[in-house]
Amino acid sequence: MPRLMDIGLEKLRNIVLDMAELSQNTVSTSIDAFVQGRDLRDRIYSWSEELRMLQDEVSELAVELIARYQPVASDLRFIKSCMEVAYGFSRFGRYAHDISDVIGIFGDLSNCDRDVIQEAGAQAKDMIRLSIKAFTERDVELAGRLKKMDDVVDNIYLDFVKKSAQEREGNLKCVVSGTLILRYLERIADHATYVGETVPYIVSGERAARK
């Protein structure tokens, strides 16, 4: 017999999955737009706002479920994780918006080398996809792979910053815009890792050790 709380848990799960799809699409669109030099700020901003509203919805529903049913054990862990994951998805939207803003701030960047951004962007997109899959399927092994992928994005970002700091004749516009974009991608990768970290917690209560 289904429990009364199950209806609420299912609703919570559905909102989070909607957020997953929208946030994945938002980040992907913003990275592609940057690489192609297209200004899609308005569209990205509206999606980012939608994600923020959905995050509020998740928080409100989670608090209602806690107040009504006093969930414990795996139910409690799932609700807590949904709040964390929804925050992560909302951050994806915000960073996607920041990425799309770079074109607005710097204008034409077609002369800048975008290979490194494409590489980090592809890795970040892959991480989002995997984190969502791991969360949806409660796949602890898959979630465990995200940490190493995060290190790749971290290193791309750090290498770029270090290299830029040593360059004497680099194009300042390219250096600053590249640093910003890579920084946003690095944060996106961090949040994808956090989404992955909720999986072992939901499944067995195991908490990830944060750096």
Partner 1 sequence: MHELVPRARTSGRVILDGSDIYAKGVDPVTIRRRVGMVFQKPNPFPTMSVYDNVAAGLKLNGERNHEILDRAVQRSLELAFLWDEVKGDLDKSGASLSGGQQQRLCIARALAVEPEVILMDEPCSALDPIATAKIEELIASIKENYTVVIVTHNMQQAARVSDFTAFLYLGQLIEYGETTGLFENPVEELTERYLTGKFG
Site residues (CB under 8 A) for partner 1?
1, 3, 5, 70-77, 204-205
| Shortest Cβ 139–partner 1 spacing (Å) | 19
| Dihedral sign of CA atoms 126, 131, 136, 142 in order | positive
Of the pair 30, 198, the CB lying nearest partner 1 is at 198
Of the pair 75, 197, the CB lying nearest partner 1 is at 75
3-state helix, strand, coil in the chain (%, to 5): 85, 0, 15
Of the pair 33, 83, the CB lying nearest partner 1 is at 83
Q: In angstroms, rounded to a whole number, what is the distance separating the alpha carbons of residues 150 and 158?
A: 12
Q: In angstroms, rounded to a whole number, what is the distance separating the alpha carbons of residues 14 and 138?
A: 15
Q: In angstroms, rounded to a whole number, what is the distance separating the alpha carbons of residues 99 and 66?
A: 36
Q: In angstroms, rounded to a whole number, what is the distance separating the alpha carbons of residues 180 and 100?
A: 11
| Shortest Cβ 57–partner 1 spacing (Å) | 24
| Shortest Cβ 73–partner 1 spacing (Å) | 5
Q: Tokens for 86?
A: 């929804």
| Shortest Cβ 200–partner 1 spacing (Å) | 11
Q: Amino acid identity, residue 94? A: R
Q: Amino acid identity, residue 138? A: R
Of the pair 136, 204, the CB lying nearest partner 1 is at 204
| Shortest Cβ 7–partner 1 spacing (Å) | 14
Element (H, E) at 73: helix 73-106
Of the pair 14, 74, the CB lying nearest partner 1 is at 74
Q: In angstroms, rounded to a whole number, what is the distance separating the alpha carbons of residues 179 and 53?
A: 29
Q: Tokens for 31?
A: 């990275």
| Shortest Cβ 20–partner 1 spacing (Å) | 24
Q: How far apart are the first and last CA of the chain?
A: 43
Of the pair 76, 174, the CB lying nearest partner 1 is at 76
